[in-house]
């Protein structure tokens, strides 16, 4: 409406100005050309005035056209947002296709370091090579490698990057074994990891005084748009108190389980980890009560999560090559090595991701899910309802969910009642080319933490 008023004002000014100039020119030619000797001079002056006026008219017309074009473009963007926000038209993530231009810098001037957790894996060079290869700006994304274990060969590998790329190498000073009772000694590695995480994050937030951090580990590959993803989602994390992290990981991100739309992003109630971002405020909350072991499962407990969610991608922005580690390759052969890593760059910082904010996301998400046809797992496996592009399978109990998940090849475990990748109890994925949403009843209110 304001733009329309502006165009009207410009048109009125344009017409008024031309009327005034016409009156002035007529008076000049009729009243002041008294002698024949002055005619050439006066005509020359008149020609200059007319040329100047024509140039100004041309400038005004070009600006009018520019304003008109901008108004038309704004109408198109609004129409696109309206269409994409309708759940009938597709995934909630399609709102990002509005592709709105931003005037801010990639992360609005905020410095977000990459904290790489390392131990005794000399293949840390593989991860570091990618972190440095795809890094758009060393100033906004400094790299810190925090090493535990005291492994000399790994330290020497990291030192080369310190010398050549000016990264920081910090080393956990406490390498001692913890005094654990016999049943827990087999988990010594997990205790040391939790201790290392606490020390490293204290360094980032208390010693180096950063306001946010992206954590990766020394056995992760990253996608070409890894930084673009985190730079754009930082804005949402920073503005929505219902979010407490952004993760590069989809627990059900195996090829065949994901939709081939790399721009698609989701909210999730399950803490994913494996390449994730948190803010200083969260560490000030969690750091003082950090657990002695199994820190990731601890974060998934209601006492820590407090109803908050994370942002996750449809297609992972990290994948792991760490078959050997503290977990002894648990889940690697059956699951982790099949995770699909995104290969197509998405310009997230030039998109409007505000649809991920809870007050926008939840009504659209809920309406979409519970308007879908409700089918059985047998319908999906047999493809008897394959004519439907998207379907919903309802579960009532923990066992029902686990049975459905096993039959459809997604992760079937729950942590504190939350299925992996779930949001409001709903787990969404692809199965044989069909979009499937395994969902609780529409009356669902909250997770049951006894479902483990």
Catalytic residue annotation: 296
Q: Give the chain's end-to-end CA distance (angstroms, integer).
A: 55
For 165-193, give one letter per residue: b (16+ CB within 10 A) or e.
eebbbbebeeeeeeeeeeeeeebeebbbb
The answer to whether 10 and 63 have CB atoms below 8 angstroms apart is yes
Task: Retrieve residue 364's tokens.
Answer: 């659209």
Distance from C-alpha of 367 to C-alpha of 416, rounded to nearest angstrom: 26
Number of H helices, E strands in the chain: 12, 16
For residues 154 and 118, is the Cβ–Cβ distance under 8 A?
yes
Q: Are strands 114-118 and 143-147 parallel, antiparallel or unpaired?
A: parallel
Interatomic CA distance for residues 231 and 137, integer angstroms: 11
Helical H runs in 252-300? 280-286, 295-299
From the list 93, 97, 68, 89, the residue with the least C-alpha distance to 10 is 68
Cα angle: 92, vertex 98, 102; to 5 degrees: 120
Measuring CA to CA, how many Å separate 186 from each of 136, 168, 176? 42, 32, 16
CA atoms within 13 A on the CB side of 204: 33
CA distances in angstroms from 349 to 62, 101, 345, listed in the order given: 31, 8, 11
**Sequence-ordered list of residues with C-beta below 8 angstroms from that of 85, at least 6 positions apart, any chain:** 95, 355, 364
Beta strands in 248-347 (DSSP E): 265-268, 276-279, 309-313, 318-320
CA angle 106, 104, 356 (to 5 degrees): 70
Round the CA-based radius of gyration of the chain to a whole number and report it: 30
Distances from the Cα of 368 to the Cαs of 357, 365, 394, 435, in angstroms? 16, 5, 14, 13
Q: In 3D, which of 373, 427, 67, 421 has the Cα closest to residue 247?
A: 421
């Amino acid at each position: 409406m304001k733009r329309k008023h502006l165009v009207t004002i410009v048109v009125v000014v344009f017409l008024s100005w031309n009327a005034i100039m016409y009156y002035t020119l007529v008076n000049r030619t009729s009243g002041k050309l008294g002698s024949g000797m002055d005619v050439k001079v006066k005509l020359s002056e008149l020609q200059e005035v007319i040329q100047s006026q024509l140039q100004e008219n041309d400038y005004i017309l070009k600006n009018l056209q520019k304003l008109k074009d901008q108004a038309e473009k704004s109408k198109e963007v609004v129409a696109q947002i309206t269409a994409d926000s309708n759940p009938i038209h597709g995934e909630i993530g399609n709102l990002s296709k509005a592709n709105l231009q931003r005037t801010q810098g990639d992360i609005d001037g905020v410095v977000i370091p990459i904290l790489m957790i390392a131990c005794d894996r000399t293949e840390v060079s593989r991860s570091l090579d990618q972190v440095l290869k795809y890094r758009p700006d060393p100033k906004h994304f400094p790299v810190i490698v925090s090493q535990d274990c005291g492994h000399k060969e790994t330290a020497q590998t990291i030192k080369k990057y310190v010398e050549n790329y000016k990264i920081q190498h910090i080393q956990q000073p406490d390498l001692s074994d913890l005094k654990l009772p016999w049943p827990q000694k087999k988990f010594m590695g997990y205790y040391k990891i939790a201790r290392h995480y606490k020390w490293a994050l204290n360094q980032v937030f208390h010693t180096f005084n950063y306001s946010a951090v992206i954590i990766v580990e020394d056995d992760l590959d990253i996608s070409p748009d890894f930084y673009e993803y985190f730079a754009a989602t930082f804005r949402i994390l920073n503005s929505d108190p219902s979010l407490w992290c952004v993760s590069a990981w989809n627990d059900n991100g195996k090829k065949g389980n994901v939709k081939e739309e790399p721009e698609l992003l989701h909210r999730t109630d399950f803490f994913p980890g494996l390449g994730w971002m948190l803010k200083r405020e969260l560490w000030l909350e969690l750091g003082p009560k950090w657990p002695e072991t199994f820190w990731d499962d601890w974060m998934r407990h209601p006492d820590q999560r407090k109803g908050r969610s994370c942002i996750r991608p449809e297609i992972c922005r990290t994948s792991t090559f760490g078959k050997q580690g503290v977990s002894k390759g648990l889940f690697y052969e059956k699951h982790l090595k099949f995770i699909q890593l995104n290969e197509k760059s998405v310009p997230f910082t030039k998109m409007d991701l505000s649809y991920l904010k809870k007050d926008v996301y939840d009504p659209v998400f809920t309406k979409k899910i519970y308007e879908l046809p409700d089918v059985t797992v047998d319908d999906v496996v047999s493809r008897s309802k394959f004519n439907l592009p998207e379907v919903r399978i309802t579960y009532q109990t923990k066992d029902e969910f686990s049975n459905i998940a096993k039959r459809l090849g997604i992760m079937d475990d729950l942590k504190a009642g939350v299925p992996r990748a779930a949001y409001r109890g709903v787990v969404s994925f692809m199965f044989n080319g069909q979009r499937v949403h395994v969902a609780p009843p529409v009356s669902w209110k909250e997770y049951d933490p006894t479902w483990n």
